[in-house]
Structure 1
Amino acid sequence: MVFWLFLALLTIAASLAVLLPLARRPQTHVPASAHDLEVYRDQLAEIERDRQRGLIGESEAEEARAEIGRRMIKLEAAGTEGSARASRFLPIVAAGAVLGVPLLSWGVYATIGSPDLPAQPLAQRLEKDPRDNTLDELVARAEGHIRANPEDGRGWNVLAPIYLRLNRPEDAVIAYRNAIRLLGSDAARETGLGEALFAEAGGIVTKESAEAFRRALEAGGNDNPKARFYLATAQAQEGRLEEAVAGLTALMGDLPQASPWRGVVGQALARAQAELGAPVAGGPSSDDVAAAAQMNAEDRAAMIETMVASLDERLRDNPADADGWRRLVRSYSVLGRKDDARQALERGLKALGADSEAGQELRDFAGTLGLGAVE
């Protein structure tokens, strides 16, 4: 009841503030038509002066005065009618608007509002049982605790993954770094930091992110599919597709059949193979790639060698493929077969033309791999 009384008083005060000025007698003001009337009067005087000087005749002066008189009468009538209409309807429209808005608002609020609900300040909501808090309230509770205890490593450790799930990667990076500083490095924290850095960079595995994933593997061993996946993603992003395919194939072989990572890894492996140029004539098919997931390390290495050999054979039949020569030189280089890489470079330059633009690009590319100059 008190709420409604208070609301009524506020509404009355606001309405009076608008209605009282409208109820006062309007101040006199010069209408816009007064200026036109003054012009017509000047014209009448000018006609009279012209008549007296003999510039116009009496009949012409009379006709001009009559025309101007008709215009003045019409203008005065229109101005009086407009002013009367405006002064008559303006208070009515204003009063209707001032009174109609609060009445309509009251009706809507009475229908869908909840004025009897108790106030729920944030401080009181945070003091209740955490099991009854929403996610935002839990985050606010944790942030309040961290502000009061900035050296609480456990608090930072709790907040970090929550920030990441809430798509707040910048805050997640800060939280993971504080947790690592205060609690020490472990596989979970380093993996979380790497993932937060990846999200902060917009889906790029940066150098700092890759270093965090490597530290995670050093701390927890190879039983960390997330770190291994992101490191293979980094290799693919850097153009080291053979290494990426090898890493993803090995990861697929180590994952349990029920692992949720199998789908993600399989898709990444297919993309890396497509960019690498597989499947190719004589090379591995998609079924071969799926079978490679079940191979041991030696068999997988042998399969990679077969992929490179297939690429080499294809280039013998189609030597005009500049991209294929770059892949072959890089593949041999990654496998540590420097002599084969140099031979592939020589063959590629011979096929493309050593002085051609494609040949120069191949030579420059080989230089980035640390291969010696080839004449």
Structure 2
Amino acid sequence: MSFLVVTLLSALLIAVILGFSLLRGRKTREPAAAYDLRVYREQLASVDRDLARGVIGEADADRVRTEISRRILAADAQIQAGTERAGPPRWATVAAFAAIALIVVGGAMGMYRQMGAAGLPDQPLTLRLENAEALRAERPTQAEAEAEAEAPPAQLPQLDENYANLLNQLRETVEARPDDLQGHILLAQHEANAGNFPAAYKAQQRVIELSGEAAPADAYSHLAEMMILSVGGYVSPEAEEALRQALHRDPHHGPAQYYLGQMMVQVGRPDIGYRIWVDALRDAPVGAPWGEAIRAQLDELAFRAGVFNAPNIPPASGPSQDDIDAAAALTPEERQEMIKGMVDQLSDRLATEGGSPEDWARLIAALGVLGEGQRAIDIKNEAMSVFAGNTEALEIIDAAALQAGIAQ
């Protein structure tokens, strides 16, 4: 039975229940005078009881009986005359039932037509996973995506004449010196600045070829980014491979994690993309543009991934670029004092707010560098107590203790 049929039957059942309540209420409704009559009779009986107990005198009892009897006669006359309305006429009740049925059933159908997917067959989880894997395996290559994106041809931004001349000279120089690593690095950078992303990633491919095994994670991440930008955000198999290479060299490389999560969303696996983005966000330094991009989209991705208790990940604490520039101008003694201040801030935050195993490990390692061995041991013991039973966290703490030279 399709979801549409279930929806309509549920709406119809609700309409029938509401209509039955309306019709039943009309049949069982009695005149207000009948209720008044029962009340007056009970009051009359209570007068006799009060007189028998001596609560009121005979004269007062006669006066109250007379008043209640008058009200009883008036209520009975009202019932006999049929002057009390027994509710709305039958046609009004039937019309109300029809309106309710039309609103509930018609509204449910109209809403499903607009927001649902009428005619779409059931898609169990196993089938959706199979479809996502097929989509990932059969998605267009980089060349196919570029060919589709260039119809009509993309217009490059207008460059300043002097800059355009310098860029042309750089192209000619690199073409004449195909093994010049620095030349290809500059060419990739300036082609990207000019918005010519296909030429930029081709130059970056040559950078990686010339660098060999020494190519860092950033080189592969830049290659993937320029591939992705050249096709308007689509992550091709070639771009995915470049991202994998970047993460192989640096598992916590933020931009590579961002684009890999984006690729998982594109192939129908928002659940994996969400986990990748959460891990990336935990390590995101302050002000990282890819970290801010993840924050702006994380709530929507969590909804698509079926996560309704998404963690609130605060921005990572750490020095900004201004802090780093200021530290470079300090004397060794001033720099040491600044480091101690940052370590103390981290220690205070962990003591009051707690933190991840990585935060505790960072504090232990920093104390080891500062030569505060006993304090590092105390922090380690506290961390072992906090994460007791968490094998993975304890391994991180032990590794930090070994780095600090306080392993026992």
Q: Would the TM-score normalized by the shorter structure come out above 0.5?
A: no
TM-score class normalised by the smaller sequence: 0.3 to 0.5
TM-score normalised to the size of structure 2? 0.36
Question: Which structure exhibits the higher relative contact order, with contacts defined as CA atoms closer than 8 Å and separated by 6 or more residues?
Answer: 2
Larger radius of gyration: 1
TM-score normalised to the size of structure 1? 0.39
